[in-house]
Chains A and B, each alone.
Chain A
Amino acid sequence: MLNFSDLLPYTDQFLKGLLTTVELTLYSTLLGLILGAVLATARQYGSSLLASVVSVYVELIRNTPFIVQLFFIFFGLPSIGVMLSPWQAGMIAMVINLAAYSTEIIRAGLGTTPKGQWEAAKVLGLSFKQTLLRVVMVPAVEKIYPALTSQCIIVMLGSAVLSQISVPDLTYAANLVQSRNFRSFESYLITAGLYLLLAILMRKAFNMIGRRVFSYRVTK
């Protein structure tokens, strides 16, 4: 009943799609986490106006579906004059989404920093920026690292929706292949397997990075 050999001629399509998904994930993770760290700092230490602007953004993104955000950016923005390619729209949607979740997660980490650390840093003559980057941020991120990595993986899996606006990602490849050879079950099964592999590899990579970055604590 199952016939995977019909998929073999389309290996190239799958690999290209996989590469696009990896690429999108890499960029959006990098940008999303940086934006998340900045927004978390703004929400935690910024003025009350800034903090509430950030929290409105966070709540809006976290309480609406990713696919609606994507459609809003891709179909909605051009009607007010912002033209975007599918790739750009998908990228923006992923970054905006990850940034909102990581803002909340990183802020939880920042909240665990004892006040004494800030005071000690001030006494030592460190500026706000130095204290944040050298004293507060690293231990904060270390505490919430598992939650942060899970969120990055969730965003990677969510990127499957980008196929709906014709970003040539892995899901797009699966749709293309099954529309040509009508082997939809096999095609989606292989694709699901590839996503699973990607998720497992991402977790492994994050664990490795985590061990490297936070090693001074593990060895102690």
Chain B
Amino acid sequence: MIEFSNIDIIRNLLIATQWTILLSLAAFAGGITVALLLTAARLNKTPLLSIFVRIYVEVFQGTPLLMQMFLCFFGLSMIGIEISAWNAAALSLTLFTSAFLVEIWRGCIDTLPKGQWEASRCLGLNFLQTLRYIILPQAIRTALAPSIGFSVQVVKGTALASVIGFVELTKAGSMLNNATFEPFKVFTFVAIIYFMLCYPLSWTSKFLEKKFNASR
């Protein structure tokens, strides 16, 4: 058995943490992109598109992220599409993130008074101009805090990538546990690292929420 000192354990965990951060960033960037498209589709008022978005949200919010990951990883390769653990994790996290972000943003856009749309139309602004100059600047203010708040769920969601064999923080923790037989210590370190990644995001979200609410 190889001896691992505390420093060795922490160093190995921190190396794996890079992948947790990278996967979180990829998932969040992907999630934002897809959610933007879905939000645009929903604002379009075409019944078929908005039904599609509704079903999309229902499916990805109503099924476990783990199952989505299994479907992307084992499922896709089963029907002939070879996919790496990284790609499967990034793909499923993107789908999962976008389903929640589109709902969050829908709420933020819906809280704006209808009159704003009507007034812009009276002023002769077209749909895109209305979005660009009237709706988005206000909606982004309200959407910022809950979106950052949701990024905590994304970081925590990346932990499930360990189950399909992607070596990030949780997987590294499991592997170190198997090597050292010190689960209490190893998983405490793992939890502390996750906390240090997530807490600043939670705090920022709470801070922004207070700041924007106070200015109303």
Contact = CB atoms under 8 A, between A and B. Distances in A.
Interface of A: 1-2, 59-60, 62-69, 71-72, 75-80, 153, 157-161, 163-164, 171, 174, 178, 182-185, 188-189, 191-192, 195-196, 199-200
Contacts of A1: 79
Contact of A63 (B64, B68, B188, B195): B195
Given A65-B156, A184-B74, A171 B187 contact: no
B68 A67 contact: no
Contacts of A64: 156, 191, 194-195, 198
A122 B158 CA distance: 49
16 contacts: A63-B152, A64-B156, A65-B170, A65-B194, A67-B163, A68-B170, A68-B190, A68-B194, A72-B184, A75-B187, A77-B184, A80-B184, A185-B79, A188-B67, A191-B67, A199-B63
B183 A79 contact: yes
B143 interface: no
Contacts of A161: 64, 66, 160, 163
B62 A75 contact: no
A55 B9 CA distance: 29
B71 A192 contact: yes
Interface of B: 58-59, 61-68, 70-71, 74-76, 78-79, 152, 155-160, 162-163, 170, 173-174, 177, 182-184, 187-188, 190-191, 194-195, 198-199, 202
A164 B159 CA distance: 13
B159 A65 contact: yes
B62 A195 contact: yes
B202 A192 contact: no
A79 B174 contact: no
**Which residue of A157, A178, A183 has the most chain B CB atoms within 10 A of its CB atom?**
A157
B79 A157 contact: no
Contacts of B156: 63-66
Given A65-B194, A69-B191, A72-B191, A185 B64 contact: no
A164 B163 contact: yes
Given A188-B74, A188-B75, 15 more contacts: A1-B79, A59-B195, A64-B156, A65-B155, A68-B159, A71-B177, A72-B184, A157-B62, A157-B64, A157-B65, A183-B78, A192-B71, A196-B63, A200-B58, A200-B62
Contact of B183 (A75, A163, A185): A75
Contacts of B62: 153, 157, 195-196, 199-200
A189 B64 CA distance: 12
**Which residue of A2, A178, A184 has the most chain B CB atoms within 10 A of its CB atom?**
A184
Contacts of A185: 71, 74-76, 78-79
Given A75-B177, A76-B188, A200-B62, A184 B70 contact: yes
Nearest to B186: A76
A81 B156 CA distance: 28
B145 to A, nearest CB: 14
B58 A196 contact: yes
**Which residue of A63, A76, A157 has the most chain B CB atoms within 10 A of its CB atom?**
A63
Nearest to A200: B62
Contacts of A153: 62
A159 B183 CA distance: 21
Contacts of A2: 79
B70 A195 contact: no
Contact of B187 (A62, A71, A184): A71
A178 B174 CA distance: 24
A76 B183 CA distance: 5
Contacts of A60: 191, 195
Contacts of B195: 59-60, 63-64
Given A76-B187, A185-B75, A192 B198 contact: no
Nearest to B157: A65
Contacts of A80: 184
A192 B68 CA distance: 8
A197 to B, nearest CB: 9
